[in-house]
């Protein structure tokens, strides 16, 4: 009996060490769900509440998937919100032109705007990839600059106003529920998440980007075309951001330059919280998905407490990000502090 217990405990420890970020997130989700069950059960545990969460988180969830890919390569994409807003504004103008006098859209309109949005996102991502790979601009500066550029274009096109008054058919289609239960936004997120999981786990492309993130020098000497890999990664990130923008367009039934302004911090927080190494070479999509769910649960739960102002949410996100980075530092350093200091003997 004792031997069986010891073996089970050893297996659990091995499993925990291999996926400590995932287990940490599962534990945090469980604790928060228990806390909400004790304090706000009737207001939190409702079908409409979970459906609302499932319809809202794909906005920043899709952007987070793109940021994850870029961070695995050792880079980052801070332009996802700019890409999302610029894409949604351009598609809003197109929907305005396609809307008839009676407020209807032609049958091909919704499919057309989705495809065009993905192409636009790919183009914006290609631009980021060129800046990083060909001009060797640090990713954080390249994507921060391009993000400001995209936002500036949005402001110039709209004068800071919201673009609306197009047919509600688009919003009604995207905001619809499959079998009157599962939001379409969630289906879009799941499809993209499965695609990226397959890409990084089951294809050579995934192996290459992990190698690139681990050591760019080794990747180059191994014969990898690092420039092409970086461009492809940022193209995929641009597509994810564009799809997030199209979901925002449906949820708000309008497009504006400053929508989702807090999503940049949230995306970085989600990716780091999900176990992706900020310097590259490590990370799993399962951890990122759990981090997305955790943040949505936290924000929705906090909104159930009227005494807690929504202005504190950004403060909480920043604090959580710093806390996670500190925890990652101590958990990733295998050697105890005393053993590491042995290498630096006293000079006395």
**78 and 64 Cβ atoms separated by less than 8 Å:** no
On the question of pLDDT at 205 being above 70, the answer is yes
Tokens representing 128 are: 């980021």
Look at 95-99, 155-159, 192-196, 330-334 and tell me which has the smallest mean pLDDT.
Answer: 330-334
On the question of pLDDT at 291 being above 80, the answer is yes
Tokens representing 158 are: 């709209």
Look at 19-33, 62-76, 131-145, 253-267 and tell me which has the smallest mean pLDDT.
Answer: 19-33
Residue 13: the pLDDT is 52
For residue 183, the surrounding DSSP H or E stretch is strand 182-183
Tokens representing 236 are: 């995929």
**120 and 90 Cβ atoms separated by less than 8 Å:** yes
Tokens representing 317 are: 């996100």
Average pLDDT for 149-177: 92
Look at 32-41, 282-291, 327-336 and tell me which has the smallest mean pLDDT.
Answer: 327-336
For 239-265, write each residue's pLDDT tens digit: 999 999 999 999 999 999 999 988 998
**302 and 49 Cβ atoms separated by less than 8 Å:** no
Give the whole-angstrom CA distance, residue 242 versus residue 122.
8
On the question of pLDDT at 342 being above 80, the answer is no
Average pLDDT for 256-279: 90
Look at 153-157, 241-245, 256-260, 280-284 and tell me which has the smallest mean pLDDT.
Answer: 280-284
What is the percentage of the chain residues whose pLDDT exceeds 90? 60
Tokens representing 233 are: 């990664």
On the question of pLDDT at 12 being above 70, the answer is no
For 302-332, write each residue's pLDDT tens digit: 888 887 777 777 777 777 777 777 776 776 6
On the question of pLDDT at 21 being above 80, the answer is no
Residue 335: the pLDDT is 47
Q: Whose CA is closest to 23, among 268, 293, 270, 286?
A: 286
Per CATH, the number for 48-305+312-329 is: 1.10.3470
Higher local confidence (pLDDT), 21 or 85: 85
Residue 85: the pLDDT is 97
For 172-194, write each residue's pLDDT tens digit: 999 999 988 899 999 999 999 99
On the question of pLDDT at 139 being above 80, the answer is yes
Give the whole-angstrom CA distance, residue 63 versus residue 83.
10
- What are the residue ranges spanned by the domains of the chain? 48-305+312-329
For 101-113, write each residue's pLDDT tens digit: 777 888 899 999 9
Average pLDDT for 279-291: 91
Q: Identify the band that residue 334 occupies on the pLDDT scale cut at 50, 70 and 90.
A: low
Average pLDDT for 259-273: 90
């Amino acid at each position: 009996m004792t031997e069986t217990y010891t073996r089970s405990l050893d297996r659990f420890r091995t499993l925990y060490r291999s996926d400590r970020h995932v287990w940490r997130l599962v534990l945090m989700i469980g604790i928060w769900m228990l806390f909400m069950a004790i304090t706000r059960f009737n207001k939190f545990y409702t079908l409409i509440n979970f459906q609302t969460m499932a319809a809202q988180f794909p906005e920043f969830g899709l952007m987070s998937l793109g940021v994850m890919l870029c961070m695995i390569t050792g880079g980052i994409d801070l332009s996802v919100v700019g890409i999302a807003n610029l894409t949604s504004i351009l598609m809003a103008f197109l929907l305005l032109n396609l809307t008839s006098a009676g407020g209807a859209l032609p049958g091909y309109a919704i499919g057309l705007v989705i495809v065009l949005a993905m192409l636009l996102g790919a183009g914006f991502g290609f631009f980021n990839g060129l800046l990083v790979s060909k001009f060797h601009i640090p990713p954080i500066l390249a994507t921060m600059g391009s993000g400001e550029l995209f936002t500036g274009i949005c402001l110039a096109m709209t004068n800071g106003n919201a673009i609306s008054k197009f047919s509600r058919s688009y919003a009604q289609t995207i905001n619809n529920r499959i079998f009157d239960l599962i939001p379409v936004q969630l289906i879009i997120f799941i499809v993209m998440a499965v695609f990226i999981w397959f890409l990084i786990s089951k294809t050579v492309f995934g192996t290459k980007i992990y190698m690139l993130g681990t050591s760019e020098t080794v990747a180059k000497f191994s014969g990898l075309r690092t420039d092409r890999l970086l461009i492809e990664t940022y193209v995929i990130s641009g597509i994810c951001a564009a799809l997030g923008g199209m979901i925002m367009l449906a949820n708000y039934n309008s497009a504006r330059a400053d929508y989702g302004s807090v999503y940049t911090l949230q995306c970085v927080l989600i990716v780091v919280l999900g176990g992706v190494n900020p310097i590259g070479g490590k990370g799993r999509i399962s951890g990122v998905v759990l981090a997305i769910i955790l943040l949505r649960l936290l924000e929705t739960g906090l909104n159930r407490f009227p005494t807690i102002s929504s202005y504190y949410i950004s403060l909480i996100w920043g604090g959580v990000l710093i806390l996670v980075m500190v925890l990652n530092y101590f958990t990733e350093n295998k050697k105890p502090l005393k053993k590491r200091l042995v290498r630096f003997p006293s000079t006395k």
